[in-house]
Amino acid sequence: MGRITLDKVTKSFGEVQVIPPLDLTIDEGEFVVFVGPSGCGKSTLLRLIAGLEDITSGQIRIDRQDATHVPPAKRGLAMVFQSYALYPHMSVRKNIAFPLKMAKMDPAERDRRVDYAAKVLNLTDYMDRRPGQLSGGQRQRVAIGRAIVREPAAFLFDEPLSNLDAALRVNMRLEISELHNTLKTTMIYVTHDQVEAMTMADKIVVLHAGRIEQVGSPLELYHTPRNTFVAGFIGSPK
Ligand code: ADP
Ligand code: MG
């Protein structure tokens, strides 16, 4: 579960092609980081995978099935939004349970999943609070909890920590990496922050103007950047 393949995927907004033909394979259980400067197409690419935007041409496969025209809710993927997407009037428990309630899941199974998410995220003692009574890091964990309960084939994160202060960001980075170790589910993580990419990724995809400049492990990119763009962005100086 969680293998995602993009085959000659393109995306245009009107006349403007922001993603030229792009091929990429994300393996089961991998932690993949899309990194690149602002405007390079990271969010667009993630939204295409999530199904929140239609691709203009090409094919997306999820676990070998053609997902190109599958609506977002049926792709089995969970997008983690920034914590401000929580419902302020609902308890933590209700916020986390919300997607399952919408899906009319049996309450016993719903409770089991919510309790599991609370446990892996260390939120067990905070379940009756409202988001306004939590720290920024706890709120972000609630937002992640809402994805975990769906038991997705992959988690998609779009700069989830950009609203947090520097110290908390470092902390949350570690927490998300630990979560990946626990769940072993595919994660795609978008950031413009090289340090985040280098410390979290199994595989880094460096994007520049909608194109993939290089794909590799943090060490590969650091030691053998393919070009000056990658070298300037994360590689060692040559
Ligand atoms: P990033 O997340 O890397 O900062 P985006 O994926 O948001 O980049 O944007 C990539 C390019 O696509 C930018 O040039 C942006 O202006 C353009 N773009 C993104 N969304 C839209 C849209 N809905 N309509 C038109 N252009 C868009
Ligand atoms: Mg973006």
pLDDT digits (tens, 9 = 90+) for 147-171: 999 999 999 999 998 888 889 899 9
> Ligand 1 within 6 A of 41 CB?
yes
Ligand 1 contacts CB of residue 47 (under 6 A):
no
User: What span, in angstroms and rounded, lies between the C-alpha atoms of 209 and 231?
Assistant: 16
Identity of residue 82 = Q
CA neighbor of 61 nearest in space, from 28, 99, 19, 98: 28
pLDDT at 238: 41
Instruction: Render pLDDT for 217-227 as a digit per residue (tens, 0 to 9).
Output: 999 999 999 99
C-alpha 58 – ligand 2 centre gap (Å): 22
- Strand ranges for 142-223 from DSSP E: 154-158, 186-191, 203-208, 211-216
Interatomic CA distance for residues 99 and 86, integer angstroms: 12
Q: Which two tokens stand for residue 85?
A: 């997407």
Rounded to the nearest 5 degrees, what angle is found at the Cα of 37, between the Cα atoms of 63 and 229?
Answer: 95
User: How is residue 12 written in tokens?
Assistant: 């245009």
Give the atom of ligand 1 at the shortest distance from the alpha carbon of 41. Answer: 6
12: part of which helix (H) or strand (E)?
strand 4-13
Q: What is the Å distance from ligand 2's center to 79 Cα?
A: 13
For residues 202 and 105, what is the distance between their CA atoms, to the nearest angstrom?
Answer: 34
CB 168 within 8 A of CB 160: no
Q: Long-range contact list for 13-18, CB < 8 A, 24+ apart? A: 17/56, 17/210, 18/44, 18/210
ipTM above 0.95, yes or no: yes
Binding site membership of 216 for ligand 1 (Cβ less than 6 Å): no
| Ligand 2 center from residue 42 Cα (angstroms) | 6
The bound ligand whose nearest atom lies closest to the alpha carbon of 205 is: 1
Pull the structure tokens for residue 25: 């394979």
Ligand with the closest atom to the CA of 53: 1
Ligand nearest to the CA of 38: 1
Query: Could you give the percent of the chain with pLDDT greater than 70?
Result: 98
Count the Cβ atoms, other than its own, within 10 Å of residue 101: 11
Q: Is the CB of 18 under 6 A from ligand 1?
A: yes
* pLDDT digits 0-9 by tens, 198-219: 999 999 999 999 999 999 999 9
Tell which residue, 48, 20, 45, has the closest CA to residue 35.
Answer: 45
Phi, psi of 173 (to 5 degrees): -55, -50
Q: Is the CB of 171 under 6 A from ligand 1?
A: no
Whole-prediction pTM value? Answer: 0.94
Pairing of strands 203-208, 31-35: parallel
Identify the residue whose C-alpha is closest to ligand 1 atom 16.
39
Matching residue, tokens 């969970």: 78
Ligand nearest to the CA of 13: 1
Residue 237 has pLDDT above 60, yes or no: no
CB atoms within 10 A of CB 181: 9
CA 159 / ligand 2 centre spacing (Å): 7
Write out pLDDT tens, residues 93-147: 999 999 999 999 999 999 999 999 999 999 999 999 999 999 999 999 999 999 9
Encode pLDDT of 13-43 as tens digits: 999 999 999 999 999 999 999 999 999 999 9
Do the Cβ atoms of 41 and 206 come closer than 8 Å? Answer: no
Q: Which numbered atom of ligand 1 lies nearest the CA of 34?
A: 3
